[in-house]
Chain A
């Protein structure tokens, strides 16, 4: 079992008006096998948390720690974090010109595993995973995310999640922009990955809809860069009914 531990994390970004603090002391511990839903209104810092875990250069950690089984994640380069077992399914996956999906997936898998996967098994695994996620096989020869629709990009993120088998997956609003059928396909993929390997999941979402398909063990409500409330799955149900209004300052 592995543990991803976030302690009193403060994160700021540089803006034209100077440095702006987005995360104002976040503490959270996730163990493999657990699913945590991070919920909250727009601008509360959910995606900042996700990008900070992955190591996006835009976010400056001013204090606090992130450790993976005691190892200092913040000291690791972006690629080293991935090789250590962290995976971020991005909200807006970028198109990478010149690199075919096939080549990309194999290169990434090789980097993560430290050795090239057996070609025969790998090709079969990729095909099966693509079929499960209802991804057109023709996408394999296209460039990474190039010309993919928003929904297709999200499915390709989950494809990688299934193939790379991380210890911890952070899903940054993977449900946004998906219709209900696509949402189900994506949720099935996440559930398969969670079952197939001992994976801890941090599911960032604005809406409770995806929680019908991916059952969280814990729910955390983010407001203004802090965790305002924590609870079990029933907290999500309450948010569904009441929204985030009660967390927001009056008149906001």
Chain B
């Protein structure tokens, strides 16, 4: 799974250099000649300057185009590797037109140590940890009028921030959030999405040296919402991010969480939980880009599906570059199909360019809760309703318990109960 795009890379190019060196919002310095690219650039940006992504093979994740410029991305046809599962017709035009509507309103609850600013898109922090990886993300980046910057102050402990985005309507909009976890801070950020919206959302997490950041992104939209979200983390030396995604609501939700490493000894944990009802399309595409030595990543996404045309997509790309010696990585996706008529796609991709690693593995299972399971549990005295709940709760609990925020865990347990109650009829 290597290709020419990776072979042309200088092996030492992605570590031992300041994370943001040579990096501008225009992406001008991300040229193939510039070996000192930041973790954001990499081969993808090189490919970009080779000609807007044309001819870049999709066979390696390293070759994927990244750019801040919308025009660098070709119009989507739905046949692209990263869009082939997405029903573009249901994307609310987010891939075609600039979203000009009002972004969801933001309500915040901030503890000491957290500050929130509204800045222009020319602020230096915008683009410090993320770069669009697809046309829709770039479309939102271009269209966003302003960005919110949440900063967790250096060395601050027990910082908690809850950001609730409430969508007000079905006019397409874009929003941008940058979360900066300053060195050695300890913080928890809950990003809650409710209401109705057609939204392109770009979120960057700049997790600086020694910081530990937990993020919980909840997609609890109304049934009609359309949400294309890019959530990118840049994780500094000895820093850690625990990124948890919970997706229940919306008509179409497509999230692309990614993590890149900007130093050694960094740790990434990515958890996800999704529950698809009839007609819902819930898609999660992950990318963990190991480019520096001695970092670890662990990915676990679990999903339940029920009803006709409930569709979930999980794609997990893990790339261990040649420089990333001593990497320890694991990713797994597990789906539980509760009824007929649902579809779960699951594609784990692991690319390894060095043999000198501590470990790398992946797993994917899609199981069905069927009549034989039900018969087995019932034959032990457990009634049908309890049996179904037992299975789903047990299945999803593994991820819910990772959240570590009691009131949120309770809320999610209640949501699971409500989802299950919907099929009791």
Contact = CB atoms under 8 A, between A and B. Distances in A.
Interface string B374-413: 0111111111101000111111100000000000000000
Given A57-B371, A79-B384, A94-B373, A99 B379 contact: no
Interface in B203-240: none
Given A94-B373, A97-B369, A104-B390, A82 B395 contact: no
B336 interface: yes
A100 B375 contact: no
B122 interface: no
Given A98-B394, A103-B390, A108 B376 contact: no
Nearest to B392: A98
B380 A108 contact: yes
A55 interface: yes
Contacts of B382: 79, 107-108, 111
A224 B413 CA distance: 51
B424 interface: no
Contacts of B369: 97
Contacts, number: 85
B380 A93 contact: no
B379 A104 contact: no
B78 interface: no
Q: How large is the interface on A (under 10, 10 to 19, 20 to 34, 35 or more residues)?
A: 20 to 34
A118 B2 CA distance: 58
Given A98-B395, A160-B380, A78 B375 contact: yes
Nearest to A56: B375
Q: How large is the interface on B (under 10, 10 to 19, 20 to 34, 35 or more residues)?
A: 20 to 34
A210 interface: no
Contacts of B365: 97
A48 B336 CA distance: 30
A243 to B, nearest CB: 32
Contact of A111 (B367, B381, B392, B396): B381
A90 B394 CA distance: 23
A112 B380 contact: yes
A123 interface: no
B372 interface: yes
Interface in A103-142: 103-104, 107-108, 111-112
Interface string A32-62: 0000000000000000000000111100000
A82 B381 CA distance: 5
Nearest to A97: B367
A66 interface: no
A104 B383 CA distance: 12
Nearest to B366: A97
Contacts of A96: 373, 376-377, 391
Interface string A79-94: 1011100011010011
A77 interface: yes
Interface of B: 334, 336, 365, 367, 369, 371-373, 375-384, 386, 390-396
Interface of A: 54-57, 77-79, 81-83, 87-88, 90, 93-94, 96-100, 103-104, 107-108, 111-112, 143-144, 160, 164
The 7 closest A-B pairs by CB, nearest first: A98-B395, A82-B381, A111-B381, A108-B380, A78-B378, A112-B381, A98-B394
